[in-house]
């Protein structure tokens, strides 16, 4: 079983909610490129990755 990147889980949740990366970023007050990078698997998730 391969490890699942947290961005994959986030992407699935966002799809269920029909929420874009921009909308999520605005909701949690972070830059949309941070959310996009996590969802695309190019950035890991840490408290610093999602905190302004």
pLDDT per position as a tens digit, 12-25: 999 999 999 999 99
Under the banding of pLDDT at 50, 70 and 90, the label for residue 51 is low
Q: Is the per-residue pLDDT at 44 higher than 90?
A: no
Here the CATH number for the domain that contains residue 13 is: 1.10.260.40
49 occurs within a structural domain = no
| Both structure tokens of 24 | 């999520």
Query: How many DSSP H helices and E strands does the chain contain?
Result: 4, 0
Instruction: Enter the pTM of the model.
Output: 0.78
**Structurally, how many domains does the chain consist of?**
1
In a domain, 48, yes or no: no
Q: Is residue 50 part of a domain?
A: no
Residue span of the structural domain in which 17 resides:
6-43
Mean pLDDT across the chain: 89
């Amino acid at each position: 079983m391969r490890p699942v990147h947290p961005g994959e889980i986030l992407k699935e949740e966002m799809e269920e909610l029909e929420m874009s990366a921009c909308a999520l970023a605005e909701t949690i007050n972070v830059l949309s490129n941070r959310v996009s990078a996590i969802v695309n698997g190019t950035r890991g998730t840490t408290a610093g990755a999602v905190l302004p």
